[in-house]
Amino acid sequence: MLKFDLRAPTTLLGVFLLFALLILVLFEQLAHGVDGTVQLLDNAFALPSWQEPLGTDQFGRSNLARLSAAIQISLWMSLLCVITAATLGTVAGIAAAWLRGWVDASIGFVVNVLMALPGLILVLLIGALFPGSFTALYIAISLVLWVEFFRVVRAQTLSLLASPEIEASRLYGFGPLYLFRRHLLPRLLPSLLPLACFGAGNAILALASIGFVYVGLQPPRAELGLMMVELFPYYSDAPWVLAQPVLCVFALILSFNLIAGGFRHDH
Amino acid sequence: MIKLLYRRLMQAIFVAWSVGSLTFLLMHLLPGDFAYRIAAGRYGYDHVTQAAADAVRLELGLDRPIWQQYFAWLGDLLQFNFGNSLVSGAPVLQEIDHQLGHSLQLALYAVVISLLIAVPVGIYCGKRANSVADRFGLFTSVMLRAQPVFVIGLLLVLTLAMNIGWLPVAGFGGSQYLILPAIALSLSLAALSNRIIRNNTHQVMHSSYLQFARLKGLSEQQAFDRHAAPNIALPVIAFVGVQAVSLIEGIVMIESLFSWPGIGHALAHAIFGRDVPMIQATALMMGLLFVAINTAVDVIGYLLDPRQRQEVEYAEV
Grade residue A3 by pLDDT with cuts at 50, 70 and 90.
low
Nearest to A117 among B10, B29, B287 (CB): B287
Burial B256-291 (b: 16+ CB within 10 A, else e): bbbebbbbbbbbbbbbeebbbbbbbbbbbbbbbbbb
Among the residue ranges A200-204, A261-265, B122-126, B234-238, the one predicted with the least confidence is A261-265
* Cβ contact B245–A118 (<8 Å): yes
- Is there a contact between A17 and A259 (Cβ–Cβ < 8 Å)? no
CA A157 to chain centre: 25
Q: Which residue of B has its CA nearest to A214?
A: B272
Among the residue ranges B20-29, B84-93, B103-112, the one predicted with the least confidence is B84-93
* Cβ contact B249–A120 (<8 Å): yes
Q: Which amino acid is at B12?
A: A
Grade residue B34 by pLDDT with cuts at 50, 70 and 90.
low
**Chain B residues with a Cβ under 8 Å from any Cβ in chain A:** 10-12, 14-15, 17-19, 22-23, 25-26, 29, 142-143, 145-148, 150-151, 154, 158, 162, 244-245, 248-249, 252-253, 256-257, 267-268, 271-272, 274, 279, 283, 286-287, 290-291
Nearest to B18 among A116, A214, A232 (CB): A116
B165 burial level (CB within 10 Å; 0-12, 13-18, 19+) = exposed
- Is there a contact between A71 and A252 (Cβ–Cβ < 8 Å)? yes
- Asked if the C-beta of A169 comes within 8 angstroms of chain B's C-beta atoms, the answer is no
Structure confidence at residue B165 (pLDDT):
65
Torsion of CA A170, A172, A178, A183, to 10 degrees: -60
What value does the mean pLDDT take over residues B34-53?
A: 71
| DSSP percent split of chain B into helix, strand, coil, nearest 5 | 80, 0, 20
Structure confidence at residue B316 (pLDDT):
46
- pLDDT tens figures, B232-278: 888 888 788 888 888 988 999 999 888 888 898 888 888 887 788 88
Complex prediction ipTM: 0.83
Mean per-residue pLDDT over chain B, rounded: 82
Nearest to B287 among A112, A116, A236 (CB): A116
Distance (Å, whole) CA B284 – CA A121: 10
Q: Which amino acid is at A190?
A: P
Chains A, B: CB pairs < 8 Å: 117
Structure confidence at residue B227 (pLDDT):
84
Among the residue ranges A251-255, B179-183, B312-316, the one predicted with the least confidence is B312-316
User: Considering only CA atoms, which of B212, B262, B207, B264 is closest in space to residue B232?
Assistant: B207
The answer to whether the bond into A194 is cis (omega within 30° of 0) is no
Sorted by sequence, the CB contacts under 8 Å of residue B232 that are 6+ apart come out as B123, B126, B197, B200, B201, B204
Structure confidence at residue B41 (pLDDT):
67
Q: Which amino acid is at A168?
A: A
Most confident stretch, A45-49, A105-109, B39-43, B69-73: A105-109
Structure confidence at residue A267 (pLDDT):
41
- Is there a contact between B89 and B41 (Cβ–Cβ < 8 Å)? yes
What value does the mean pLDDT take over residues B23-27?
A: 80
- pLDDT tens figures, A185-198: 988 988 899 999 99
Structure confidence at residue A148 (pLDDT):
92
Q: Which amino acid is at B20?
A: G
Sorted by sequence, the CB contacts under 8 Å of residue A120 that are 6+ apart come out as A206, A209, A210, B248, B249, B252
Structure confidence at residue A201 (pLDDT):
93
- Checking if the pLDDT of A36 tops 50, the result is yes
CA–CA min distance A120, chain B (Å): 6
Distance (Å, whole) CA A10 – CA B40: 59
Torsion of CA B88, B91, B94, B96, to 10 degrees: 70
CA–CA min distance B85, chain A (Å): 16
- Is there a contact between B235 and B200 (Cβ–Cβ < 8 Å)? yes
CATH topology (fold) of A68-265: MetI-like fold (1.10.3720)
The residue extents of the domains of chain A are 68-265
Structure confidence at residue A4 (pLDDT):
67
In a mutational test of the B interface, the residue from A10, A13, A109, A120 whose CB has the highest number of chain B CBs within 10 Å is A120
Residues 201-260 of A with CB under 8 A from B: 205, 208-209, 212-215, 225, 228, 232, 235-236, 239, 246, 249-250, 253-254, 257-258
- Checking if the pLDDT of A22 tops 90, the result is yes
Nearest to A214 among B244, B272, B290 (CB): B272
Q: Which residue of B has its CA nearest to A239?
A: B158
Q: Which residues of A touch B286 (CB under 8 A)?
A: 117-118, 121
Grade residue B312 by pLDDT with cuts at 50, 70 and 90.
low
